């Protein structure tokens, strides 16, 4: 059973919604790249329910950054799992515009392209090292794969709101604009 099948079944039983983010969402939006984990976004107030459910799957918390938790599976054949916690209002907006896709043979929701850009730009603003390079590459490749006009005011405003204009200029330069 895939991690997405397992998550979908148990989350439905517990009436917990989630969005698949990270590389799996990037892939579904047109840029195929490798990954060795799964990332999900959930409501912050459901944290304890998610932790309990994931412990039941054999996961243990290896890093707790408050609004970002990293879990490792005791089963080496299972992906590690990252859990991003956001306020209910933020989750609601993202969930309302989410796209349904098939992952691991099961229907799940991923953020809209603009919401995925927002997540990636926020990660860029706060990231370091190789993680930052991977997020920058995701933003650039997603823009190119989806024919996004990187010079558009709406794209620029994503950087104003979630990142900064220095990052925006770096994306423009990388895209040859």
**Residue 27, SS3 per DSSP:** helix
Q: Kindly state the average pLDDT of the residues 100-128.
A: 95
Judgement on whether residues 106 and 44 belong to the same structural domain of the protein: yes
Q: Which residues pair with 63 in a beta bridge?
A: 70
Q: Kindly state the average pLDDT of the residues 52-78.
A: 93
| Res 67: pLDDT | 93
| Res 147: pLDDT | 96
What is the CATH classification number for the domain harbouring 3? 3.30.460.40
Closest among 126, 162, 118, 106 to 142, alpha carbons compared: 118
| Res 3: pLDDT | 86
- pLDDT of residue 1 exceeding 70: no
Judgement on whether residues 85 and 48 belong to the same structural domain of the protein: yes
Judgement on whether residues 156 and 96 belong to the same structural domain of the protein: no
Name the residue range of residue 45's domain: 1-111
Mind listing the pLDDT tens digit for each residue in 71-99? 999 888 889 999 999 999 999 999 999 99
Structure tokens belonging to residue 138: 């995701």
Mind listing the pLDDT tens digit for each residue in 119-168? 999 999 998 888 899 999 999 999 999 999 999 999 999 999 999 999 99
Please enumerate in sequence order all residues whose Cβ is within 8 A of that of 165, keeping only pairs 6 or more positions apart, or say none. 156, 159
**Helix%, strand%, coil% for the chain, nearest 5:** 50, 20, 25
Judgement on whether residues 123 and 75 belong to the same structural domain of the protein: no
Judgement on whether residues 132 and 89 belong to the same structural domain of the protein: no
Judgement on whether residues 42 and 71 belong to the same structural domain of the protein: yes
| Res 176: pLDDT | 85
Q: Among 111, 131, 147, where does a domain finish?
A: 111
pTM across the whole model: 0.95
Mind listing the pLDDT tens digit for each residue in 6-48? 999 999 999 999 999 999 999 999 999 999 899 999 999 999 9
- pLDDT of residue 107 exceeding 80: yes
Judgement on whether residues 18 and 102 belong to the same structural domain of the protein: yes
How many Å apart are CA 116 and CA 113, to the nearest integer?
Answer: 5
């Amino acid at each position: 059973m895939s991690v997405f099948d397992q998550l979908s079944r148990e989350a439905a039983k517990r009436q917990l919604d989630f969005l698949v983010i990270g590389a799996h969402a990037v892939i579904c939006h047109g840029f195929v790249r490798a990954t060795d984990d799964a990332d999900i976004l959930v409501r912050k107030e459901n944290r304890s329910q998610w932790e309990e459910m994931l412990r039941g799957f054999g996961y243990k918390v290896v890093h707790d950054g408050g609004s970002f938790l990293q879990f490792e599976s005791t089963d080496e054949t299972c992906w590690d799992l990252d859990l991003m916690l956001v306020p209910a209002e933020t989750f609601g907006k993202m969930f309302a515009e989410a796209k349904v896709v098939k992952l691991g043979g099961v229907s799940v929701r991923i953020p809209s392209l603009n919401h995925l850009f927002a997540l990636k730009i926020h990660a860029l603003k706060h990231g370091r090292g190789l993680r930052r390079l991977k997020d920058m590459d995701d933003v650039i490749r997603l823009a190119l794969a989806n024919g996004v006009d990187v010079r558009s005011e709406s794209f620029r405003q994503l950087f104003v709101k979630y990142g900064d204009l220095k990052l925006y200029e770096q994306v423009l330069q990388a895209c040859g604009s």
